[in-house]
Each structure stands twice: as structure tokens, then as C-alpha cells.
Amino acid sequence: MAENTHQINPDQWVDEYSDYLFNYAIVRVNDREIAKDLISETFLAGLRSKKYFKGEATERTWLISILKRKIIDHYRKINSKKGQAEVKINYTEEDQEGEWLEEKVADNFEQSAEDNLVNNELGAAIYDCLDKINPKHAQIFKMKTIDNFDTEVICNEFGITPSNLWVIIHRARTALAECMEEKWLK
């Protein structure tokens, strides 16, 4: 019988998974505030159902599965509102029959959905690799590369010199390149 080794630890959720979940959500909903709300709802739902966590998947996979449901619920709400709006548009102008806003939006969505899928897969790969490197290096790397903080600000925050910072950035980049080599850098 397979041993269920994964533990649940809500105290660490924000530090360990919030950025990953946030990127997952923002790629799909394209709105920072909505993405934040979805993460809050995901964590609360996770807390409510933590007794059902069997440890067969990682905490992150489990939280992602909750987030996916939250995103689907979000789109259901939007679509039901949009559906009502469409009916109104459709019945106000008879000669506009067939000029469905929905169809035009759907075409754009197809295009962006494909891009989003690649971006999301790439984002997940980057976060997976960041999880594997020294946590302090990962944090400094994220501040420098993703948040675009000035070198001086990061050095003050961590009490390091600019030389130290560039050594850390170099180690992080080398480790990330090795981690992403096979699938993304060849």
C-alpha cells in the first residue's frame, strides 16, 4: 500500500504557495484583485476541507485543484451575467440578429487561451525550479527579477553587499537554467 507522505501545514501556505497560486489565477482571470480574492477563497476552502486531505498529492497540487474550482465558479458567475446581457442585446435590435458579441469574444479567447496555457506552463516550471533552489536565493531572485526591486533596496533588506547579491543572482540563474534546460532552453 502506498504511503501517504504529504502533510498539510496551513501556517506555511502563504509563504510557500501564494505566489504560485496567484500566477496560476492571474493568467486565467487577468485581474489582480480577482486573482487575490480567488486565492483567499482557495485558502479558506482549504482550511474548511483540510480533514479530507489524504496526503496522496502534494499540498500545492491539492490547493491548485481547489483554485481551479474557484476559477470555474468565477467564470460561471460572469457567464450567467453575460448571458442575461446578451438576451437584452439580442431582443432590442432585430436586425442585429446573429451579430453575437459572444462569438467575437470567443475568438479572442481562443487566441489568448493558447498563449495563457503556454505562459502558465512556463510559470509553473519556473516556480517548480525556484522551489528547488536555496530559499534565500529564490527570494532574492524573485525580488530582483520578478518584482524589479533596485539592487540597493534588496541589499538593505538582506544586509548584503551588491557583490554578494550578484553572486546569489548568478547561482540562482545557473541553478534555474540547469533545472529548465531539458524542456525550455534547448
Beta carbons of 154 and 50 less than 8 angstroms apart: no
CB of 18 to another protein, least distance (A): 5
Q: Determine which residue in the list 102, 123, 155, 160 makes contact with another protein, applying CB under 8 A.
A: 123
Q: What is the DSSP string of 139-176?
A: HHHIIIIIS---HHHHHHHHT--HHHHHHHHHHHHHHH
Using CA atoms, how far residue 67 sits from 43, 45, 55, 122, in Å, is 9, 9, 18, 18
Distance between CA 141 and CA 149 in Å, rounded? 10
Q: Which one, 90 or 124, has the nearer CB to another protein?
A: 124
Distance between CA 119 and CA 115 in Å, rounded? 6
Size of the site for another protein (CB under 8 A): 39
Query: Restricting to residues 39-98, which ones interact with another protein according to CB under 8 A?
Result: 39-40, 43-44, 47
Stretches 9-17, 79-87, 89-97, 103-111: which one binds another protein (CB under 8 A)?
9-17
Name the residues that contact another protein, by CB under 8 A: 10-11, 13-15, 18-19, 22-23, 26-27, 32, 36, 39-40, 43-44, 47, 118-119, 122-123, 126, 142, 144-147, 151, 166-167, 169-170, 173, 176-177, 180, 184-185
